[in-house]
Amino acid sequence: MTRIAAVHGALAPYRCAQAEITDMVARACLPEGADRRVLDRLHGNAGVRARHMTLPLDQYERLDGFGAANDLFIATATDLGARVIREALRTAGLSAADVDLLIFTSVTGVAVPSVDARVAARLGLRPDLRRVPLFGLGCAGGAAGLARVHDFLLGRPDQVAVLLSVELCSLTFQRGDASTANLVATGLFGDGASAVVACGAERAGAFPGPTIVDSRSRLYPDAGGVLGWDIGDSGFRVVLDPDIPEVLRHHLADDVREFLAGHGLKPQDVTAWVCHPGGPRILDAVTEALDLPTEELAVSWRHLAESGNLSSSSVLHILRDTLAERRPPPGTPGLLLAIGPGLACELVLLSW
């Protein structure tokens, strides 16, 4: 088994009310004098009250191109990444010298050397550290990263692995783009980071956290164009198709039931659902597809309202909050799930 020893999350420094962000987007994205009623409706329906941003709002309109945004991503991701790993290790009672593997996932900036290498140098991680930077998994990256941590520790049960996610979504907002996809994204996504410390079976007894039992990945190639980036001179331009909830309604229930059945379980046996909050329509689709009581995704709804969608980091923040506030009965199963570009579904079976 793989034991989760600690989960730590952090948010970018500037907390802004949704209405303030909407006003900034109106100035930055809409033509002068344009009717902003569609923008107001999209942001109002996002289910978000406030988000954390990397920059003060008035600086986004002056951010000069993809290069400047990406430079800011590298600097901020390194700072936030080092901070959340340091705190997660402290919570687990481990040191930098204990870490054998560092997996880094992000989809909101690029760096070579990768952010994990920069964080390793900042924290003094061992020079023989194994590193796996992941790019392109989007909102599914937190769940997929946990699954890859589990894969690694199954073969090295005496070792310690860290998963780091940093997503600075506000740095990808496209100025001068009044497309529906960009307006939805500017109303939904926020900035944050998270780190998970996990250990293999030979060290698991030292920690009280849940165990990772198994994982499942599912790719829906017939929906490959509904979510992702178009990458060009201005950076990352969001692809966000309104059909995503319908894809989930069509596929998710069968995937979850089949995965759980392989472990002698049914959806009603799951005592906590750790679900990525892709947005209100995504959460509604998950609730509908799995026939869940509304309160089962209460932590996800609250995270969406208070922080927005943090892409790959969100599901790890929700895992942290579930452990801190709604810890299920010991020995019962939990399911962590997220959806990302591909279109892909990532499932991680937990035992509390």
Residue-wise pLDDT for 186-228, tens only, equals 999 999 999 999 999 999 888 889 999 999 999 998 888 899 9
Spatial CA neighbour of 188 closest among 15, 13, 10, 22: 22
Cα–Cα distance measured from residue 308 to residue 305, given in angstroms and rounded to the nearest whole number:
6
Residues 288/249, Cβ–Cβ less than 8 Å? yes
pLDDT of residue 318: 98
Residue 1's pLDDT is what?
86
Q: 134, 135, 127, 80: which is closest to 99 by C-alpha?
A: 127
- pLDDT recorded at residue 222: 85
Residues of the chain below pLDDT 70:
none
The token duo for 56 is 């003060």
Tell how strand 130-135 and strand 333-340 pair up.
unpaired
pLDDT of 344: 95
Closest to 178 in 3D by CA, of 36, 29, 35, 34: 29
Hey, which residues are catalytic here?
Answer: 139
- Among residues 277, 164, 193, 195, the alpha carbon closest in space to that of 10 is found at 193
Please report the pLDDT score of residue 147 as a whole number. 98
How far is Cα 290 from Cα 345, in angstroms, rounded to an integer?
14
pLDDT at position 3: 97
At residue 223, the pLDDT reads 86
The reported pLDDT for the residue numbered 160 is: 98
| Two structure tokens written together for 210 | 């849940």
